[in-house]
Amino acid sequence: MNKSLGRGLGAILEDVEESYIRDISNNSNIVKEIDINKIVPNPYQPRKNFNEKALKELAGSIETQGLMQPIIVIYDDGEYILIAGERRLRAHKILHKTKIKALIVDFELSKMREYAIVENLQREDLNVVDLAISLYELMEEHSYTHEEIAKLLSKSRSYITNILRVLKLSEYVKEKLVENKITLGHAKNLVNLDEELQKKIVDTIIGQKLSVREVELLVKKYKTNLTEKKIEKENIEEINKVELGNIINNIKNKYNLNISKSNNSILINVTSKKDLKKIKKIFNI
């Protein structure tokens, strides 16, 4: 992994804020009021869901106090690509404002996905499902390992691994995560269970307000029951095979019939009326 890239992403917000303060004091032209309709969203923005109540509260704060920190954009071919500050931009749109204060930076477009994730992690808790999708795309794009992603975002490796496990969950579970009906701690216990069982346990979590520890015990109980049922089924099938074989051998020996076994079925090859009489006697017909 490029170490300079990791450092730049980890420290870029602090650098931008320091630059903003310095530019204001120097009357720099880098911070400008730009037309909102010329701003296009960051195509790598990991956040898909925005809390409408929180946006309205932010809009109210901006209306009374003004925008305390500008959004961050890249100028590219007559338009501005949003890098950081989508919530602030959305709040301005709620207020029907036509312009917004922006810090225009020189930044590589290839790093936009990393920047968007770092910005969201540092500014506000990112929805865990959106984060998992973004981390996966980031890993695919740059061939990062879990360890490299962890260093990039200043998180533990186990944190990254647990986040990515969310992608193995059913859509129903992901939906409840987005709605904050269950936590990541609850959800990670459901990985590798079938969808029907995942839904059943999630509904139980919500209905009975189960703790993470209670979910661990519940899942363990379900897994134990499933294992016991599987063993019991295998034992029954094995017993059936043995008994079926014994029946076939007895019929062969007693009635001298051409008889064989196919899976759990008995096949009798009838070649004469004499064979039919034997079969009638066997089945008491």
Summarised one tens digit per residue, pLDDT across range 192-233 is 888 998 999 999 999 989 899 998 888 888 877 666 566 556
In a domain? residue 21:
yes
In a domain? residue 143:
no
Q: Are residues 119 and 226 in the same domain?
A: no
In a domain? residue 64:
yes
pTM: 0.47
Of 107-121, 173-187, 238-252, give the range with the top mean pLDDT: 173-187
Q: Give residue 109's domain range.
A: 3-124
- State the pairing for strand pair 258-262/71-76: unpaired
Q: What percent of the chain has pLDDT over 90?
A: 13
Q: Which of 97, 124, 151 is the last residue of a domain?
A: 124
At residue 24 the predicted structure's pLDDT band, cuts being 50, 70 and 90, is very low
Residues 6+ apart with CB under 8 A from 117: 46, 126, 131, 134, 135, 138, 153
Q: How many domains does the chain have?
A: 2
In a domain? residue 154:
no
The average pLDDT across 241-264 equals 71
Q: Note the pLDDT of residue 10.
A: 41
Residues 6+ apart with CB under 8 A from 115: 9, 12, 83, 84, 107
For residues 143, 146, 147, 149, the Cα torsion angle rounded to the nearest 10 degrees is 70
In a domain? residue 211:
no
- Rounded distance, CA 285 to CA 279, Å? 8
In a domain? residue 132:
no
CATH code for the domain of 13: 3.90.1530.10
Q: Which of 90, 124, 158 is the last residue of a domain?
A: 124
In a domain? residue 185:
no
At residue 235 the predicted structure's pLDDT band, cuts being 50, 70 and 90, is low
Q: Which of 124, 141, 170 is the last residue of a domain?
A: 124
In a domain? residue 116:
yes
